[in-house]
Amino acid sequence: MKSLWNQVKQSIKDDIPDHMYRMWIEPVRFLDANDSHITLSSPNAFSAKRLRDNYLIIFEKAFSKLGIDDVKIDLSVNKAVTPSKEAPTQNPQGIENRTASYPALPAYTARAFDRQMEIPGLDIPFKSGRMFKKEFTFDDFVVGDNSDFAYSASLSLAQGHFTGNNILYLLSGTGLGKSHLSQAAGRHIITKGYSDSVYYVTAEDFTNEMIFSLKNNKIEQFKEKYRTRCDVLILEDIHFLAGKDATQKELAITLDYLLDANKKIIFSGCNLPDEIPKMNDQLKSRLKLGLITKIDRPNYKTRVKILKKKSKCNGYLIPEDVVEYLAQELSEDVRQLESGLNGVAARASLLGEQIDIDLARSVLETFSLQRKLVTVDRIKKLVCKEFSISEKEIISASRKQKIVKPRQMGIFLSRKYTDQPLKNIGKSFNRYHATAIYAINAVEKEIKQKGQLFEQVKYLSRKIESGNL
């Protein structure tokens, strides 16, 4: 069984990034086996927990490949190993000492496990892969009107029912769920056995890995990894590649290889491909080949659902009126909702207070992410102040440009930053529904030209997003 374990480790080494193998898998030792029950040893409690949470399913799949199903794996913490006074030429436990693909990395053996385990590759200037978050699954994602299409598209791609060229572009601001959906898709593909070759990286990681590979004559291995060994590429924060021409060219070629092989690709970013500055046409055209799905800010109803879901998952007992209050006050993104919810629960627990509206209000008063509730009236006042016009003028029938442009911007920003229906927004500016639609289209058209109005809208958006109303 010990030799079989070594085969399992070799199989895992071929399937996961090298730095992950060195950090978590290589130090694991074989201890004992009885029928389909195997006991392994990990160097410390933290490593054992990490392995249980993230790698047991990988171990089981590797055993299954060797014809052993239903294997039961136990992990213990090794505390009884005594370091040798001599440096052995060969590991007596039968575990290979590898310096592998990264230069100047120390070889780790079982004889070093009595001390704090060092982190292999700490001096490497990049991480060539990231772990999926345990809670980022399709089941844990709260679907609302803001995200139902993105959710359906992500699930369809993961299940292999996606129509088109297997490229999905998840578009949203920070904290709205694009990372959750991209990781949920990757996890679904792995757990359902569709593929084990799922590479999840950020655009920054991809860039740094390519630079490292160039400097260390590893570029061919880098190309092989992403062009031929990858079944699913999940690339986060694509906007990071703005201005990085060499990385853009390499990624565009990589995408051609993956597309020709009918592989799956998921991008995420905060901007549309055409709006990412200094993006070459070659890569931009590849990004636009896929289905672009936008995740908007959750509306009030969805925020309530999110808070209830998070409360249940964390074991919080939050009264209905407090949930509704938090959903009303915290309208930015999911992270803000989570922070507010955790703040309320923590204060009640630490101070032994009852969770009610007064407690929630006291938490939000000192809540660093709190912003003034964005309303149509507040946006209207902001626009009037910045353009030195009165509220009476902005809702008047005047067709003067100094009135029309601010009015159109007020309608556009109200549509962007509030939950109000377009009919209500138009009514607030004393305009019909059709006129409100015309105003929004006019502003969007001018924004694309990146002129003066673009800068004005960007300036007003910053003030609204910072709560400076």
Report the SS3 class of residue 42. Answer: strand
CB 248 within 8 Å of CB 241: yes
**Given this model, what pLDDT does residue 103 score?**
34
CB 234 within 8 Å of CB 183: yes
Q: Please tell me the class of the 376-465 domain.
A: mainly alpha
**Total Cβ atoms within 10 A of residue 221:** 13
Q: Which ranges constitute the DSSP H helices of 135-272?
A: 148-159, 178-191, 203-215, 219-227, 245-260
**Given this model, what pLDDT does residue 68 score?**
78
Report the SS3 class of residue 435. Answer: helix
Where in the chain are the domains?
1-79, 148-294, 300-365, 376-465
72-77 β-sheet, strand order: 29-34, 37-42, 72-77
What is the rounded CA–CA span in Å between residue 160 and residue 151? 14
CA gyration radius, the chain = 27
Enumerate residue ranges in the chain where pLDDT < 50.
79-127, 368-371
Q: Which residues contact 418 (CB under 8 A, 6 or more apart)?
A: 374, 375, 376, 379, 425
Fold held by 300-365: Helicase, Ruva Protein; domain 3 (1.10.8)
N-terminal to C-terminal alpha carbon distance within the chain: 68
- Nearest one of 352, 297, 363 to 326, comparing CA atoms: 363
**Given this model, what pLDDT does residue 440 score?**
92
CB 383 within 8 Å of CB 406: yes
Q: Which residues contact 71 (CB under 8 A, 6 or more apart)?
A: 36, 37, 38, 59, 60, 63, 64
**To which residue do tokens 């009135």 refer?**
403
Q: Which residues contact 460 (CB under 8 A, 6 or more apart)?
A: 382, 383, 386, 409, 413
What is the rounded CA–CA span in Å between residue 313 and residue 175? 19
Q: Please tell me the class of the 148-294 domain.
A: alpha beta
Report the SS3 class of residue 267. Answer: strand
Report the SS3 class of residue 448. Answer: helix
DSSP class per residue in 302-317? HHHHHHHHHHHHHT--
Report the SS3 class of residue 373. Answer: coil
291-294 β-sheet, strand order: 198-202, 232-236, 264-269, 167-171, 291-294
pTM above 0.85, yes or no: no
Q: Please tell me the class of the 1-79 domain.
A: alpha beta
What is the rounded CA–CA span in Å between residue 43 and residue 166? 41
Phi, psi at residue 333, to the nearest 5°? -160, 180
What is the rounded CA–CA span in Å between residue 71 and residue 93? 22
CA dihedral 58, 269, 245, 218 (to 10 degrees): -10
What is the rounded CA–CA span in Å between residue 276 and residue 282? 13
